[in-house]
Amino acid sequence: MNIDALIDAIPKAELHLHIEGTLEPEMMLALAARNGVELPYKDVAEVRLAYEFDCLQDFLDLYYNGMSVLIEERDFYDLTYAYLEKVHEQGVTHTEIFFDPQGHTCRGVSFETVLGGISTALETAEKEMGITSKLIMCFLRHLPEDEAFDSLHCACKHKSLVHGVGLDSSEKGYPPGLFSRVFAEARKQGFIPVAHAGEEGPAEYVEQALDDLQVQRVDHGNRAFENPALIKRMVNERTPMTMCPLSNLRLKGVASLELHPLKKALQAGLVVTVNSDDPSYFGGYVAENYKAIQQALNLQAGDIITLAKNSFSAAFIDDKHKQAAHDAIDKVVSEVKSKLKSK
Ligand code: HPA
Ligand code: ZN
């Protein structure tokens, strides 16, 4: 079976995607001009040239700077709609999107402006392209927990639009336990908890995310492999990991994709998924992530099918939706197989 054709055709859910990380250089410059924002780049080539990172913090500095062009509700709409159009072409039928309200409210852009633009685009895309979605609001872990509470209070006014809460930004030195109180309140208010852990931080941060924040998924999770008992626990509890191969490569979490722990995760029986994280910054959307990791780890068609099915098993959708997605995957797989046989 032509594996790239399978990757393109197979229905996929994306579960680890920062909407601000989909800001392509062309849109960054166009929005800067539209909103009169000064950027330190004169053209697209200069923006791309700046995308050389040695670690997570190098990336975050550019990521927060790039966000400064997002000001009006229509900017957030355009950003979100462009992402959805792109992944619709790649076979994504469901997406769970992170957004970082504190990256905007600190610049005087209101929570409602951000949420209004994103959620209207999601609604439009569901009508036009049939893509379903959930929104996950992240707390920035380099800021104090009190400020996370401010975001939570805003989200409580929009429970129909915000499904979950997450934790992102600089990991080292900011363990999940610092956010126990705000996550407890978020869970009490009905938000589903997830957190970035083990991207750069140690396995202990993954344990804290599970124990102190009671997360239902771990975002990244790579360094959990330093603790075999923790992996066993995540297998037993079926806690999904949302992995992002090209992100890990570009931020030097792995020296090469051949050394990426995704195959180990599959072999261990973890509910592991493939995602793009910040596709504009890391050189690939979800299909490119599947293709790159398939090649590097010599994944087989059966692995791709498992990864695609995992993406729906790990999604925050009901069992009927999960089953329908798994059935759609089986149908596409048999169509791809018979097309190839008839060639
Ligand atoms: N890690 C942590 N925080 C982030 C990331 C990431 O990869 N992308 C956007 N915020
Ligand atoms: Zn992320």
From the CA of 278, give the closest atom in ligand 1: 8
The bound ligand whose nearest atom lies closest to the alpha carbon of 16 is 2
Q: Domain of residue 330: give its range.
A: 3-342
What is the value of pTM for the model shown? 0.98
If one counts the domains in the chain, the total is 1
* Residue 256, burial from CB neighbour count under 10 angstroms (0-12, 13-18, 19+): exposed
pLDDT in tens, 214-240: 999 999 999 999 999 999 999 999 999
With a 6 A CB cut-off, is 104 part of the ligand 1 pocket? no
Long-range contacts of 83-87, Cβ-Cβ distance < 8 Å, separation of 24 or more: 83/17, 83/19, 83/22, 83/279, 84/121, 84/122, 84/125, 84/129, 84/131, 85/125, 85/129, 86/22, 86/285, 87/14, 87/131, 87/285, 87/286
With a 6 A CB cut-off, is 198 part of the ligand 1 pocket? no
How many angstroms is it from 236 CA to the middle of ligand 2? 24
Are 332 and 301 contacting, i.e. CB atoms less than 8 angstroms apart? Answer: no
The helix/strand count (H/E) of the chain reads as 17, 8
The bound ligand whose nearest atom lies closest to the alpha carbon of 248 is 1
With a 6 A CB cut-off, is 247 part of the ligand 1 pocket? yes
Catalytic residues: 199
Token digits of residue 234: 């995540």
With a 6 A CB cut-off, is 169 part of the ligand 1 pocket? yes
From the CA of 63, give the closest atom in ligand 1: 9
With a 6 A CB cut-off, is 66 part of the ligand 1 pocket? no
Cβ neighbours for 320, distance < 8 A, ≥ 6 positions apart: none
CATH number at residue 154: 3.20.20.140
CA pair distance 220, 244, nearest whole angstrom: 7
How many angstroms is it from 169 CA to the middle of ligand 1? 5
pLDDT in tens, 6-63: 999 999 999 999 999 999 999 999 999 999 999 999 999 999 999 999 999 999 999 9
With a 6 A CB cut-off, is 168 part of the ligand 1 pocket? yes
Token digits of residue 128: 């036009």
pLDDT value at 330 more than 80: yes
Cβ neighbours for 259, distance < 8 A, ≥ 6 positions apart: none
How many angstroms is it from 233 CA to the middle of ligand 2? 23
pLDDT in tens, 162-216: 999 999 999 999 999 999 999 999 999 999 999 999 999 999 999 999 999 999 9
Token digits of residue 235: 């297998």
CA pair distance 94, 137, nearest whole angstrom: 17
CA pair distance 45, 80, nearest whole angstrom: 23
Strand order in the sheet with 192-197: 12-18, 92-99, 132-140, 164-168, 192-197, 217-220, 241-243, 272-274
Are 220 and 192 contacting, i.e. CB atoms less than 8 angstroms apart? Answer: no
pLDDT value at 340 more than 80: no
SS3 13: strand
Write the residue with the smallest CA distance to atom 4 of ligand 1: 169
Are 266 and 233 contacting, i.e. CB atoms less than 8 angstroms apart? Answer: no
pLDDT recorded at residue 266: 98
* Residue 124, burial from CB neighbour count under 10 angstroms (0-12, 13-18, 19+): middle
How many angstroms is it from 195 CA to the middle of ligand 1? 11
With a 6 A CB cut-off, is 277 part of the ligand 1 pocket? yes
How many angstroms is it from 248 CA to the middle of ligand 1? 11
Residue that has been written with the tokens 């392209």 in this structure: 129
pLDDT in tens, 131-163: 999 999 999 999 999 999 999 999 999 999 999
